[in-house]
Amino acid sequence: HRPMEFTKKLQEQYKLSTESIALLQEHMQLLSFEKKEVIIQEGQRDDYTYFVESGSVRAYVIREDKQVTLFFAFEGDSATTILGPSNTLTSKLTIETLEPTTLVRISRTRLEELFQRSLEIANWGRKLMEKTLLEYEHYFIEYYWMEKSTQYQALMKEHPQLLQRVSLKEIASYLNITPQTLSRIRAHIK
pLDDT tens series, the chain, 190 aa: 566 777 888 788 888 999 999 999 999 999 999 999 999 999 998 889 999 999 999 999 999 999 999 889 998 888 886 665 556 678 889 999 999 999 999 998 899 999 999 999 999 999 988 888 888 888 888 887 889 999 999 888 888 888 889 999 999 999 989 999 999 999 998 7
The DSSP code for 140 is: H
pTM for the whole structure: 0.86
Q: Estimate the crossing angle of helix 4-14 against helix 18-26, to 10 degrees.
A: 140
Q: What percent of the chain has pLDDT over 70?
A: 94
pLDDT, position 83 = 60
CA angle in degrees (0–180, nearest 5) for 99-133-88: 80
What whole-number distance in Å separates Cα of residue 62 and Cα of residue 18?
41
pLDDT of residue 144: 79
Q: ∠55-103-106 over CA atoms, to 5°? A: 155
Helix (H) or strand (E) holding 96: strand 94-97
- The model's pLDDT over 97-136, given as tens digits with 9 standing for 90+, comes to 999 999 999 998 899 999 999 999 999 999 988 888 888 8
